[in-house]
Structure 1
């Protein structure tokens, strides 16, 4: 049966999460399908940031480290993140960037494995580039070798997971394809050969249920500005399994990660547990914005009882992405589009990625970039990721159930149909590459 606009409106009318949209400032006429790159502005953020600037900084000055509880912001926000990623209170800190935190946790994992004689760090060829760059640098510095594989090589009789592997470093939801690993199964497979796991949750936290402790993962980091709506460049987070709490080394041993920073001793003594992942003085204004974003996600807890925020959001996320896939295939047939994201719910994150074969002019490229630019000009904001000889160009669309509805999906596909059928994407302005794609 063909899906109609009326069907989508009926789904919106029945949506228990629809009131959560009121937490956000959404520009008129914009259909935002890019929460996997940058989340939407929470309405509470401008006032909270202004309060930090004008009151806490402007009037409280340095006293606010105590009177406004600035000092414990990384741990307090970390406890909020923990509720979304299957961690316990006291196991997560919000600090620094994703790249910096990855450097810290990968260094820690490699240090633990140094005496084992293992020399391989394994990751996916299609992993997010910053992860590969950090790993490449650390491997060179620490005497390890980075081996890149396809996801299919994690299982089967010829698995890349051998007793030579020191660390398996993966992004839980692949940024290019939206494919999601079975964290528990993959972690168990890594542990079976003596490897440690480092998980990047940049496209998972706030998007899909994550169970770090139940999966017995070793280390994890994640992003604050995507599905957590913390604002551009928001602080990231880091987690370590408590079984490693007294063992790991932190390479950036700044004063904020000292066991007693205000003792001002000349020698470093690491803070217990995950607190040692802190380094320098914390960015209070940015953390205040991140807290507003975290609160928008945690608001979904009210709609799912003991199941937590992520269970409620996941149900709607799958419904939204199912609808988008179905409408694209019903209404854009014959336009050269192919689904890259897995159909299987257990293997899909909260995004839908498409590739395109230019059937009319194959020599001139896929047209994927220009199609995305034409959609953006119409207010349908997704993004594009360039391919290479081994990977296709990607048209990428993220679905944040906090503020997206089913009619939004219908309208986005309607624009998609028009861009393709009219050839609008061929216009010169849509084929000029911007610095950020």
Structure 2
């Protein structure tokens, strides 16, 4: 999609935007006194710009959610048209747009799925999937990975495995295990196959120790995203499915970040030959144009609530504006082969380009990913694999911003996660900037290894 004239979006003033933000807006996951956010005024396709017209290539997709790109005209028009017809309606009603949105999501689900419970985002999708699993099984415990993020609500944040869980541990019945991460293996593995086998053995042992009859669900990101784009090794998800089946445990796969084209397929689990019992989604389902998420429910789990009340609901479940955005996004992605583009650009440009960076920069410990979902793990020592320190990562982030690339930087990693519509030339442009920044920050003499 061509970039429109940034001057058309210069509404207001950047200084005013920053003043109002710092005076009145309380930001997530932040110490409020130390913030200096970008004041973005507009966007189109894979680019965003500020109030002065300065433009950045968005390699972050904001929070890895703008899969269809910024301001896609079909999605914007669908929201506008729905607002003119019916801006909101209670979830207990039947609504044509909501029905069409559910139908569109189910169209890309595996056989055996026909129902969708809509939520406001990914956190409450996971929250309700956990509730469904507990009620379906009559059990309580939920097993999830330490390296994971499932959202910032009661059970979802406790299912999360990173530091954000610790000050929020109010929910009951959560157990964590280590998942596969061959580059920093917890299992002393020497191959992807061994990493998979040993991680599965660890999972099985923990479930046995907890008591299989007490475990309601295994909740995993199909590809852990914020934790580092940890693509599961061959056989891992299939092995998890077998363990879940062995003990009558519900398998919930969190596709909030990985779903709707991000990995080069509609859902990431398709690449592993696995069918879960519940699928949670959000982000890419309508690129975040209006908040929306949901749970794809297998027919077996859905049947639990045919004659039993499901004790959950949301005022804005299936909100018409969000549903119109879902329909338009999925139809545009189908018509414009957006998922296929993500797969092709990842396979032919991003993957090879990052492999080349790894070969030339000693600080690149590992690159991994699929589709338009990649991570570059940066280390200060390739032998010990010690992570680059925060100050160096901050310098890399600042260098990317200074060269007009909007990055997603997490811990010691740069995540390369552009919109699924990115062109090969745009991807090459972003990788060239990353190359230049790594050279400038880590090899200021200009030498490479």
**2:129 alignment partner, SS class:** helix
Change (3 A) 1:25 1:144: closer
Alignment: residue pair count: 347
Match of 2:119 among 95, 115, 130: 95
How big is each residue's C-alpha offset from its partner over 1:1-48, in whole Å with a ceiling of 9 and x where there is no partner? xxxxxxxxxxxxxxxxxxxxxx94745854332236231221223333
Determine whether 1:231 maps to 2:288: yes
Alignment partner, residue 107 of structure 2? 83
1:73 to 1:339, Cα distance in 2 relative to 1, 3 A? same
| Structure richer in strand, relative to its length | 2
Give the 3 Å change call, closer, same or farther, for CA 124–248 of structure 1 in structure 2: farther
Q: Deviations over 1:124-145 (max 9, x none)?
A: 1011152795246699888524
| SS at structure 2 position matched to 1:188 | helix
Q: Is the 8 A contact 1:124 1:170 kept in 2?
A: yes
Aligned to 1:238, what secondary structure does the other structure show? strand
Does 1:202 pair with 2:223? Answer: no
Once the two structures are TM-superposed, the CA of residue 161 in structure 1 deviates from its matched residue by 4.1
1:352·1:396 contact (CA, 8 Å) conserved in 2?
Answer: yes
- Give yes or no for the alignment of 1:104 onto 2:122: no
1:134 aligns with 2:155: yes
Task: Kindly indicate whether the alpha-carbon contact (under 8 Å) linking 2:148 and 2:221 is maintained by their aligned counterparts in 1.
Answer: yes
The aligned residue for residue 291 of structure 1 is: 327
Distance 2:120 2:443 in 1: 39
Q: TM-score, normalization: structure 2?
A: 0.65
Q: Is the 8 A contact 2:112 2:298 kept in 1?
A: no
Which TM-score applies when normalising by structure 1? 0.66
Task: Give the equivalent residue in structure 1 for 2:351.
Answer: 322
Q: Select 2:82's aligned residue among 21, 46, 52.
A: 52
**What is the match of residue 369 of structure 1?**
394
Report whether the alignment pairs 1:187 with 2:241.
yes
Match of 2:414 among 389, 392, 395: 395
Instruction: Give the SS at the match of 2:201.
Output: coil
What is the SS of the residue equivalent to 1:202?
A: coil
Which residue of 279, 282, 286 maps to 1:220? 279
Report the CA distance shift for 1:379/1:73 in structure 2 as closer, same or farther (over 3 A). same
- Return closer, same or farther for 1:313/1:83 CA change in 2, 3 Å cut-off: farther
Structure 1 counterpart SS, 2:328? helix
| Consecutive aligned runs of 4 or more in structure 1 exceeding 6 Å deviation | 138-142
Distance 1:381 1:296, change over 3 A: farther
Q: Per-residue displacement from partner, 1:147-193 (whole Å, max 9, x unpaired)?
A: 33333554137733435233211011111222234544421222123
Change (3 A) 1:233 1:99: farther
- The change in CA–CA distance for 1:133 and 1:94 in structure 2 (over 3 A counts) is closer
For the 8 Å contact 2:143–2:219, the answer to whether it is kept is: yes
Q: Residues 57 and 430 of structure 2 are in contact (CA less than 8 Å); yes or no, is this contact kept in structure 1?
A: yes
Aligned partners of 1:189, 1:131: CA distance in 2, in Å? Answer: 28
Indicate conservation of the 8 Å contact 1:78/1:237, yes or no. no
1:154/1:161 contact within 8 Å kept: no
Cα deviation 1:210-264 (Å, max 9, x = unaligned): 36797342111111x3x34433552012111101222159xxxxxxxxx9xxxxx
Deviations 1:362-396 (A, max 9, x none): 9964622331232133222221123xxxxxx2211
Which residue number corresponds to residue 356 of structure 1? 378
Structure 1 residues not aligned, in runs of 5+: 1-22, 250-258, 260-268, 302-308, 343-347, 387-392, 427-437
- How far, CA to CA, are the matches of 1:218 and 1:421 in structure 2? 46
- Superposed CA RMSD in Å reads 3.9
Q: Is the 8 A contact 2:155 2:171 kept in 1?
A: no
- Pick closer, same or farther for the CA change 1:50–1:90 going to 2, 3 Å: same
Task: State the partner residue of 1:333.
Answer: 361
CA distance in 1, matches of 2:387, 2:222: 33
